[in-house]
Structure 1
């Protein structure tokens, strides 16, 4: 990640430069020696003179020096100010910059006052190191630069160096850069800390007292306070510049830092700097640039840690816009410490910018922006390769109750993993301004025991929550939510991830009680989407506003012991939202998807488009008390098992919703039902188009009403593979002549008659055999007659072969059904009683002629 930042430039005359070369110095060497004899002495390279006054010899008056234009140069062998002492620079009124260096081997221990006779910018360079004690203070009228660089560099190439001291040239502008050489010394600022209630600093929504009684190192309003060393330690130190600029940088060996003119003085530009050292804030360290126009804080180093209730603060109090708080490093850690930007006037608040390879906000550490008045709050922008936020505070953007300004956005970009645990990331609006947006772009994101939310309780609009996760999104025991409890609408939730797993948590949007605003939409796009246990995706209305839609698009969607729901609660008048699901495989186990109306509002529609839909002990429901609530399913296969259901049932006087199913195969087993029933209204309509419908006897498809059959709905089953013409007999084009069907000698056909009528339509041609399409009736053994009879068997005409053993033919006079349901022809009329056969065949019968 790029570790440099270019400051905005203003139109000023061409500037000079600063160079740093630092001799060997250890952190231990920075231990202050305030009890030793502290002094200010010259090295003789320029015409600086020092006089010591006061009864205790602690007042050092610095005179003369070398003047070049509006610059005054001083060179010291030693420069330290004891506790209770002072170092006073006696400069002329036309001097704008006092540039001083320490060429001796000692660090500078400053625990007293540094002042100037007339306002001027003061530059202090000591490569050995600089320590500011708890009593150190400034009274200089201009900006203050303390550095452990080796030299100041000017625009003509001249270097005012501590290791190669030379007299300044005749014409020199202000420095344009700092030159660092070997092993730069450290800078330490010590103090008692801010003394404020840290819970107030960390708490959002209650105006805290940010006015620390500790003065610390403070410059005049609108000026710059810069500390640029090797390592920099702020141990309980307090740094202040009202509406000005505070710069802290930690530079490694053999580096160069540009100085750029800005409105508040000079800014550090690290464009040509490639290596940094560490910066530590501890023991309630406090950096404060609060003013009529909030000032700027810029911190750049390698490993930057803000710990033990330390805070970085920029508040805007009037109509001027606030400046930014920018922290750039290889790693950034906030541990029970924070960074805060507020606006209390009409001016806009500044932004909070965190950039590092690795960032941690932990143990009640975090970042917060707020607006308390007309001005809009700034944004929080975080960029990292890995980000971890855990244990309380987190990241917040808020508008307070009486404000009209907008809350700022929270923008997070993480190239690698991001983890959130037991914290909140939220944008809230309690005023008339809108809440900010939450935008998270990460390679992977894990959320545990946390909340990511945007909420509005007044007329403002809630912000949108947007996740774009390249790989995996894992949410456990957490909530992602947008809510409205006022007249403003809830924001949308848009989640895009390669895989999304939601367990024991929720993604939800609601229009809360007493609100009139609408709930927000939920849009989820994922390769794989899993809700394995006790999870929910829901939109709800408790009041007048409608609930939002739910739109899910996934290659594979597993819903298990969880639910997807859009509903209206009892007492609400708003409508439920639609639920639309598109998936390759949609599998539901002991779960439900529903859009439900429990009040006067209408239920939404439920639509699922999937290659395969599987329900196991699950339900798809669009139930209502006030109408609407239709279900449309388009799938390759639709499988219902183990008491699953698809319902659009209606209670009260509402009409049952419609169910439309288009599928290749519909399977309903084990008491699985499809119903569009009603209580006191009309049943709904069910339309099913399928290649095949397979259901067990205990699985029903119904659309009835408890009012009776006349109020029942419609069930229409369409199976396109069934050919309605199959089994029909094609009639011959030439109608059979009835005369051709009458035998010339009917007796030749045997005694009795048998009339064939076919299965409806014109009688079959008796000269033709039955086709295979006709219904077949198997012949069975005749039932024995209860009347004894005899028959005479005679020879058949010569044209017919005969047998002496031929049995007499008995004509059929009726048929009966046996115990197997088979048709049996019988020789008696089953509708009559008594003897029905003649024992003798009349001589003139057809049988007698055989």
Structure 2
């Protein structure tokens, strides 16, 4: 065919295409003798020609668009397994119909001006498809196949590209689709199957790659599938993306990207890596700046076979957002992996500074069969928010793993600085069958905040499988207004353990204002309401055992009706509760408890380096409310303090059985009464409510014993001389209160000042008259004065003592004569006060 005939043929084809509103496909003539050739064959556009290098075929087109209901195919010579196509005309490629390859080759479509997939667009090829708005493909020795600066193709030693180069002029990829329709075969799983037509999925054959890499990706109701293959979504504004072949087609390396673009799924968009029945699952990788999934859109991988699940990986330089539910379908925006048969579920790996789940957004890994569920691994370097319900208050925002079959649920592993759960948020792992629940491990270096009812970090069992354990490491843990951190069983499986390490403090505060449910940390066996028993199909009487709670922190504060508890509402025993803290404050009905309705009360062990302070009706209690014994309480602290009148109690009791043991070791204990029963004062007591003869045992130990006060009076070395008698400065006084000291006993008065009183009766001595000492005149009768007679005694006269004398034996006698005073010089200067 000569040039004139070829030109007429091409003009005729394009005349027909334009009149019919069909495809626009033209060659740019930059490959010279190896230019692309566009032909119309059987109502489809066929792109032929091109430059071949080994097994790679290069096409350079000025325009490439496909009209609604039309088909554009690339011819695939037998020796070609890779077709690389650039679009250089500066217009976006609009794909409204079918774009395909007549063979098994992989197809790269590169248009830096943008790519748009309409709601009726389709891919029809046996190989992988990579759509990109990169500016050029990079080969060995930095050779470029550029769409912005198109040149003739140089000689290539290797025809496989090494990477994609993006610059600031690169455009977006937009895909607008028919929206997905999903169905669920299990009421607790968001969906497990699809309904409706799948004709207009953007899809590739099994074990192949479907990749879209643009400056920004905007998927509006579009459906991307790669059964058992790989789906790759990348948002890149500038930088280099490495490319390498893989068993599933192609993989992409983003480590040399300077600026990432955004990826947005909305209007019930679906990215589906579910495998074929009996076959392997797919693999999904999403990488961008901000990755947002809204309006009920979903990224999922389902395992319908017996092989190990692959991974769902999202890396975002700025944030990952899962927001809202679709008003029409009620579908939540989310990330979901599910195992339906014997193969394991796919793991979910998220890496971003900020992870936000709002208004019903979710991340979930489930198993419904014999295979184990996938693991959730989340690394958010700044914060994670799990916040709020959707328009339906029952549609919470949550992160979860669960099992509805024999397989075990996967673990949840979270690493971040801040975790906030509020307004209807959950982080939970559950078993509703024979499989074991997954463990939850949360490491939040700065803090965790849980606020409000229905907000929890929780592991649970609603069947025969055991619940997983809950591990928390953080600097500060705040639980308030009815939120909870708990491991629970509502059926035959056992509850898990709760292990918390908070470097600075734990605050558990308040109750939910509506339900009055307390904020709590617990491991428990709980009886569900009849409505929930019917909904979850569980026995009215749970038989599983409660687990243990272990807490280590500097400061623990439990207040305003909040609780830390191990509890069993039915026949089993309560668990054990161990707390190691510098200080514990219980305030306004704050409780630490270990209780059982029918089994033995749990044990409480508090190791406190500084003080335990109990205020306003707070409790520490280990109760057996049935026929079994009460639990035991062991407290070791430096100080234990209560206000006597505030009725804060420490007690171990049983309804019928023996009260438990209470052993308290403290250096100082204030404000408590030790008695045989509870009173309106602050008490320490162990008792049996109905069998007082088998009350428990209370021991209070003081490791240092009772201190003996010193008996030696220490005299100061110097006495002040800076004041004088009568001086107002100092107002110094000296008061003699007698013996002073303390009363002999608690019921005696203080010893009053002693007053000396001589209780002896005075003796009347016969005394001679002073006249008897005079000489008697001769011949007289011896009586000189009629008033004086030797036979009459003078009445005694009591004279006030004027002095005292000491005899040789040291006895002291009072004397009517004044004692002789001898001045004494103490040698001390006279005080001036």
Tell me, yes or no, whether TM beats 0.5: yes
> Cα offset for 1:51?
6.0
CA distance in 2, matches of 1:508, 1:124: 51
Q: 1:677 to 1:118 in 2, by over 3 A?
A: same
Query: Which structure is richer in relative contact order (CA contacts within 8 A, separation 6 or more)?
Result: 1
1:794 to 744, 750, 765: 765
CA RMSD, aligned part only? Answer: 4.0
1:95 equivalent to 2:63? Answer no
Deviations 1:208-238 (A, max 9, x none): 3267423343333322333334444434433
Alignment of 1:167-186 (within 5 A): 167-169=153-155, 172-180=158-166, 183-186=169-172
1:326 equivalent to 2:285? Answer yes
Alignment of 1:350-499 (within 5 A): 350-356=310-316, 357-364=318-325, 365-400=333-368, 403-422=369-388, 423-449=397-423, 450-477=425-452, 478-499=455-476
2:666 to 663, 666, 677: 663
Alignment of 1:649-660 (within 5 A): 649-660=652-663
Alignment of 1:355-754 (within 5 A): 355-356=315-316, 357-364=318-325, 365-400=333-368, 403-422=369-388, 423-449=397-423, 450-477=425-452, 478-509=455-486, 511-534=488-511, 535-542=519-526, 543-616=542-615, 617-624=617-624, 625=626, 626-641=628-643, 642-668=645-671, 673-675=673-675, 722=706
CA distance in 2, matches of 1:376, 1:363: 29
> Cα offset for 1:448?
0.6
> Cα offset for 1:627?
1.6
> Cα offset for 1:473?
1.8
> Cα offset for 1:511?
4.9
CA distance in 2, matches of 1:570, 1:265: 56
Secondary structure of residue in 2 paired with 1:656: coil
Q: 1:499 to 1:715 in 2, by over 3 A?
A: closer
Deviations 1:158-180 (A, max 9, x none): 44444333155376523333344
Aligned 8 A contact 1:547 1:575 in 2? yes
Residue in structure 1 matched with residue 64 of structure 2 by the alignment: 79
CA distance in 2, matches of 1:350, 1:128: 34
> Cα offset for 1:565?
4.5
CA distance in 2, matches of 1:235, 1:201: 27
> Cα offset for 1:599?
0.6
Aligned 8 A contact 2:648 2:683 in 1? no
Aligned 8 A contact 2:560 2:588 in 1? yes
Aligned 8 A contact 2:444 2:475 in 1? yes
Secondary structure of residue in 1 paired with 2:631: coil
Aligned 8 A contact 1:565 1:579 in 2? no
Q: 1:674 to 1:109 in 2, by over 3 A?
A: same
Q: 1:500 to 1:214 in 2, by over 3 A?
A: same
Q: 1:795 to 1:605 in 2, by over 3 A?
A: farther
Q: How many residues align?
A: 670
TM-score, with length taken from structure 1: 0.70
Residue in structure 1 matched with residue 303 of structure 2 by the alignment: 343
Residue in structure 2 matched with residue 823 of structure 1 by the alignment: none
Specify every segment of 5 or more residues in structure 2 that has no aligned partner in the other structure, as ranges: 1-16, 326-332, 389-396, 512-518, 527-541, 712-750, 769-792, 799-833
Secondary structure of residue in 2 paired with 1:339: strand
Q: Quick check: 588-597 or 241-250, which moved more?
A: 241-250
CA distance in 2, matches of 1:713, 1:33: 97
Specify every segment of 5 or more residues in structure 1 that has no aligned partner in the other structure, as ranges: 1-31, 277-301, 679-695, 728-773, 784-789, 808-850
Q: 1:560 to 1:68 in 2, by over 3 A?
A: closer
CA distance in 2, matches of 1:410, 1:234: 25
2:266 to 307, 313, 317: 307
TM-score, with length taken from structure 2: 0.71
2:129 to 125, 141, 144: 144
CA distance in 2, matches of 1:206, 1:237: 18
> Cα offset for 1:47?
4.0
CA distance in 2, matches of 1:202, 1:334: 23
> Cα offset for 1:102?
3.7
Aligned 8 A contact 1:107 1:131 in 2? yes
Q: Quick check: 178-187 or 699-708, which moved more?
A: 699-708
Aligned 8 A contact 1:406 1:435 in 2? yes
> Cα offset for 1:417?
2.7
> Cα offset for 1:470?
1.7
CA distance in 2, matches of 1:665, 1:707: 33
> Cα offset for 1:515?
0.8
1:109 to 94, 101, 117: 94
CA distance in 2, matches of 1:348, 1:675: 63
Aligned 8 A contact 2:660 2:697 in 1? no
Q: 1:154 to 1:431 in 2, by over 3 A?
A: same
1:274 equivalent to 2:240? Answer no
Deviations 1:449-502 (A, max 9, x none): 322222223222222222222222221112222222333322222222222221
Aligned 8 A contact 1:605 1:628 in 2? no
Aligned 8 A contact 2:547 2:576 in 1? yes
Q: Quick check: 617-626 or 242-251, which moved more?
A: 242-251
Secondary structure of residue in 1 paired with 2:194: coil
> Cα offset for 1:580?
3.2
